[in-house]
Each structure stands twice: as C-alpha cells, then as structure tokens.
Structure 1
C-alpha cells in the first residue's frame, strides 16, 4: 500500500492521471432524535455522496495515479472523521494527498442562524493535512499549499507561501501545477468572492515570471469554473456533496447540480487535459 503522503509518482506511460475531489464536508455519525432528523440526513447524504463519487470515478476506464483532496474534508473538526476519510482513501491503494480548507480549521457554531450571526471558532488543522508539499514525477511537479486561516472563511496565500513557490519554480523547470483550497480569481458571485484567497495579486505578480506554471486547481466555490491568467489555466471543481449556484451575489444552493469531481491528465510533453464528471443518478 502506498505510503502517505504521496511524494513521488511513476507511471507506465509517463503520463499522470489525477483525480481531484474537494469539499467533502463529512460529519461524524450522530444519534437520531426527534430534533435531529434533518441534520442526520444531511450528514448521511455527504458521507454517501463521497463514497459514491470515489467508487464511480475509480470504476471509469481511466487509470488513476493520484488522488488530490483540496480541502473542506470535514464539517466539524474531529480526528475520528479524518480517520474514516484516510482509511477510505488508503483502501483504494492509490497514492493520495490532502490539504486543508476553511472548515478543516474552523468550526461554525449556531448553524441554525444566518451565516453572519454564527460564531466561528479557530481549530488546529489535523496533522495529516499538508502544507508546502511537493509531489514529483519525471515530467511534472505538483505544489500543494494550505490556504486556510484558522477561525476564518476566507483564505490567504502568505508571503512565505509565495517565497516557497518562487524558490521551487526557480530551481525546477518541470511543468508545474499548484493545488490549494481557496479560489484565486473572482468567480462573479459577491458572497463567495469575499471569502477567496487574500494576497492573490501579489501571487500573480510573482507567478507571471514562470512560464512553466501551467495549472492551478482549487475547491471552495462548490461549482465548476475555468479561468485563465498569465497563461495559467485555473480550474475550480464541484463538491462531492452539495453545490452553489454560479453568478449569484447572495448565497444560494444549486439544487439541480449533482456532486462532481475532476480528472486531470498531465502529459509528458507538458500539455494538460481536464474535465469534470458528475455523479450518476
């Protein structure tokens, strides 16, 4: 069984097939009582959806070389939930890596209240979640960042993160992919764009010097989008559970959008193919 975290991947054809899943929002099992039916059903739905997404993706006619989980693994920061997620991923026998999202370092109290009235409580990240982590192949480098801020919904690419990226991209000229949780280009939804990663303009100013930076992948927005900046393709990926309506200034669920996941095929000549699949109904 591959050791965690993945740090070196070799494939039989020198191409790398990545399965990206994000925003699992799993909760520990709860005991049902008369007042918790809706909460229980929501918790069970996210759990079942995660398992179904993983099963469907790995039954497709494509070899999976690496699974990258881009944050919000949990809805409540508890070690037992991470234990279950890591056991499930390890059972695939496929190398994988996980980074933190805002829900991995922040608990929301009073969820029955409107969002702006809830108490946000800072929590330490699970030690298995990665920060400034490198995964290499013979032809690619994957650079994983922790964009979360404890006690906050928004994220940040820190000056230290940018310095680390610049050093790595300066010393290794392989085509590069960056993975983080928070989005780094506005997605034309005011409510979620207030919670994107901070310091992104400084990030882009530094990244435009590196032509071999090809791709950025993220989660957080619970929808599929593709953006471009400075020759970099920026992919946002649907949640394995519930989705948000795109291009809405106020918070809104997209009841018609199914759970999803993203495939990325990184070729040995530096080209990229990527697409989103949705869970079969």
Structure 2
C-alpha cells in the first residue's frame, strides 16, 4: 500500500461478521486560536468547544472514535494545535483529524500527532473503513480534491471491498441550498461522486465547513454535514447569516450490515456574546 495510506487499527482483529455497531463522534469547525480570549462573531470559541466536549463526554463509554473534520485552529498556530491535541488526548478516546480551509495541513500534521491522536488517511474499525480525504487548497475557502486524493479514495474502496466505507472530508460535495455557502463547496464533485457510484461498499460521506446540519442521499450514499462547535450559519438561506442555534456534534453508529444511524446533539445554549450583525468570518 502507498506510504500516504496510514492504517489505524484500534479494532483490527475483529472479524468481518462482528455484531457491535461502531460509534463515532464527529467534532468539527472548532476555530480555536492562540489566544484563549479570541472570539468569533462574539463567541469565545475555546469555551464553546469545551462545552461541546463536556456534552460529548457523556457518550465516551460507548464511543470508539473521535473524528475531527477541519477548521480546527483558526490561526493555524502551533499553540492552538498543541492545546487541541492535549484536550483530545485527555478526552481518552482514539481521535483522527483532517484539515479544513482555515487549517495549515503541515502544521496540523506536525502538532496533532501523538498518543491517542492521529492524522491518518485510512481508519479500520471492525468491518468498516473510514477514508480521510484532504479537500483544502491554498488561499481558498472552497474545496478541491487533487488527483492524488481521488486515487486514494478509489484505491481504498477497491482494497476494502469486504468492508463498508465512510468517507470524511472538510468541504461539502453536494449543494446544501445556500448560495453563499455553495460557492465554497467542493469544486470538482463529479469525479468524487462518480467513484462512489462504482463501489457498493461506499455507504456514507461526512463533512464540516457548513456550520449546520445536513442529511440527504446521493444514489444510495448518505450525505451528512455537521454543526460547528462554535457559531452556526442559518440554514437554507442564500445570504450569509448567523443562527442562534447552539453548537453541537454529530454521532454515528456504523452498523455491521452497512447501515448508518446518526443524529445531532447540541449543548443547551451558546456562551454569551453572540453578534448577529457580524458580516463574515
């Protein structure tokens, strides 16, 4: 297997007929910062992240994996990544990360590895494989999958036909009925979706970036977007707008038969200070 494929086999010895669902918690768009006092649209992102992680901790005993899907550190700083890695390490569950458009992939890879925290391209859990794709491109808020990433996707699906596959990336590969946000979607979804169409083991796709829930199907493959751990964007609106919805995370149960149970859990309310007049981020 190519060197850029890293296997994380926390349950690699389980046979393909294992019966217990694999439980994954997706944490995304934390927008942490060097400064603990930094705010996004009036919200302290460190505090909101800690509140979301406290809620997630209530499910820790049933959880197999934390999946962090980008925009983890807004200023892409070593301090921010190191603090995040330490926090995730203290959570006590194996965690895997990929970068978003606000991350620096090199810095993330350098500082988010160690202990329970990894930056792999492939995660095998029971009779499932999670394929981690990089959709970021320099100096752009939108996403793109390079030929190398598309080859990684196809190779992993082909080499794991005995496993169901969940694909994780940062940018959304299908439109979400939000014109301003859809301008920052994956700019080459056609080859990505075409690969999924050719492999029956492709069961689901999850992403961050959109700061809101999304749940649909494309040719039988479940498509899921997830709220941020800080501010949320108004759903189904063509212009930029900040929602009063509280932060949260997505949980997924990956079933032995290839089915996916999933939902969104949110904290009770945002930390104080939300600025609904913010024009961008």
Which residue among 102, 108, 127 is the counterpart of 2:109? Answer: 127
Q: Structure 2: which 5+ runs fail to align?
A: 1-5, 113-117, 270-281
For residue 233 of structure 1, report the CA deviation from its aligned partner: 0.3
Distance 1:92 1:204 in 2: 34
Aligned-partner SS, 1:155 = coil
Give 2:10's aligned residue: 9
For residue 268 of structure 1, report the CA deviation from its aligned partner: 1.8
Distance 2:239 2:263 in 1: 27
State the TM-score, normalizing by the size of structure 2.
0.83
Give 2:235's aligned residue: 246
For residue 61 of structure 1, report the CA deviation from its aligned partner: 7.8
Paired residues of 2:22 and 2:126 also in contact (CA < 8 A): no
1:100-115 alignment runs, 5 A limit: 100-105=99-104
Give 2:83's aligned residue: 84
For residue 206 of structure 1, report the CA deviation from its aligned partner: 2.0
Distance 2:106 2:156 in 1: 27
Distance 1:272 1:265 in 2: 6
Paired residues of 1:211 and 1:231 also in contact (CA < 8 A): no
Distance 1:145 1:17 in 2: 20
Instruction: Provide closer, same or farther for how the CA distance between residues 148 and 40 of structure 1 changes in structure 2, counting only shifts above 3 A.
Output: closer
Give 2:276's aligned residue: none
Paired residues of 1:133 and 1:145 also in contact (CA < 8 A): yes
Paired residues of 2:77 and 2:107 also in contact (CA < 8 A): no
Give 1:73's aligned residue: 72
Aligned-partner SS, 2:50 = helix
Give 2:30's aligned residue: 24
Distance 1:148 1:98 in 2: 13
Q: Structure 1: which 5+ runs fail to align?
A: 32-38, 106-122
Structure 1 segments (4+ residues) deviating >3 Å = 11-14, 39-44, 128-132
State the TM-score, normalizing by the size of structure 1.
0.83
The count of residues paired between Structure 1 and Structure 2 equals 252
Paired residues of 1:6 and 1:97 also in contact (CA < 8 A): no
Deviation readout 1:37-80 (Å, 9 max, x if unpaired): xx558686210111111111111486111000000001112100
Distance 1:61 1:91 in 2: 12
Paired residues of 2:43 and 2:231 also in contact (CA < 8 A): no
Paired residues of 2:60 and 2:93 also in contact (CA < 8 A): no
How much is the aligned-residue C-alpha RMSD, in angstroms?
A: 2.3
1:179 is aligned to 2:168: yes
Deviation readout 1:232-274 (Å, 9 max, x if unpaired): 001000000000001111111112x110100000122222100
Which residue among 204, 208, 214 is the counterpart of 2:203? Answer: 214
Distance 1:52 1:154 in 2: 29
Structure 1, 237-246 or 205-214: larger mean CA deviation: 205-214
Which residue among 186, 199, 209 is the counterpart of 1:197? Answer: 186
1:146 is aligned to 2:134: yes
